[in-house]
Amino acid sequence: MLCQSIKREQWLDKLKATLLKVPYVHSVFTLPHQLNSLAKWNEKVMYGLIMKVAWLTIKETTRKYGAYPGMTGVLHTFGSDMKYHIHVHCLVTFGGLGKNGDWMYPPHKKLLANYRAMCATYKSIFLAHLHRLHIKGVLIYSSVT
């Protein structure tokens, strides 16, 4: 049995008990590796930022068809090869609640959203928030990696 597999199964069982009885999709949001150095110097800010932007991206994507989704996310700072690779795994409801309280499915029927459109939304939101952090002087920079 793989290391941590029992703990993972226990975590999954606990999570399943809290999920809505609706379809879900798995989405992953990744920080470009060019920002790894910035993330190492600003872990709390950058890790919080990627989590926030993942949620804002999902919210914006589903807003376009009038739904309010549910999402749970897990931040990973390393890939399976144990290299520094910041990304968020998200379990997102396939659709969401409409203003009238009815469940609304995405118009695509098989996709939460168009992949390229979701990537563009994520990039736009991320860069806008990163720019705000830079302007506020929140980020620490170093030429040392």
Domain with 65, as residue range(s), is: 22-136
C-beta separation of 67 from 95 below 8 A: yes
Question: Who has greater pLDDT, 1 or 69?
Answer: 69
The answer to whether position 9 is within a domain reads: no
Q: How far is CA 96 from the centre of its chain?
A: 17
The answer to whether position 6 is within a domain reads: no
C-beta separation of 50 from 29 below 8 A: yes
For residue 96, give the amino acid letter: G
The answer to whether position 1 is within a domain reads: no
Residue with tokens 């998200």, as numbered in its chain = 90
Range with lowest mean pLDDT among 31-35, 66-70, 76-80: 76-80
Percentage of the residues of the chain whose pLDDT score is greater than 70: 95
Question: Who has greater pLDDT, 5 or 73?
Answer: 73
Range with lowest mean pLDDT among 6-10, 53-57, 98-102, 140-144: 140-144
Question: Whole-number mean pLDDT of the chain?
Answer: 90
pLDDT for 7 equals 83
Number of domains in the chain: 1
The answer to whether position 3 is within a domain reads: no
Range with lowest mean pLDDT among 5-19, 23-37, 40-54: 5-19
The answer to whether position 101 is within a domain reads: yes
Q: Give the burial string for 63-100 (b: 16+ CB within 10 Å, else e).
A: eeeebebbbebeeeeeeeeeeeebbbebebbbbbbeee
pTM: 0.85
Residue with tokens 């459109």, as numbered in its chain = 117
The answer to whether position 12 is within a domain reads: no
Three-class SS string for 4-64? Answer: CHHHHHHHHHHHHCCCCCCCEEEEEEECCHHHHHHHHHCHHHHHHHHHHHHHHHHHHHHHC
pLDDT for 12 equals 80
* Dihedral angle, C-alpha 81, 83, 124, 74, nearest 10 °: 70
Q: What is the pLDDT of residues 104-138, one digit of tens each?
A: 999 887 888 889 999 999 999 999 999 999 999 99
The answer to whether position 55 is within a domain reads: yes
pLDDT for 3 equals 59
pLDDT for 142 equals 77
The answer to whether position 143 is within a domain reads: no
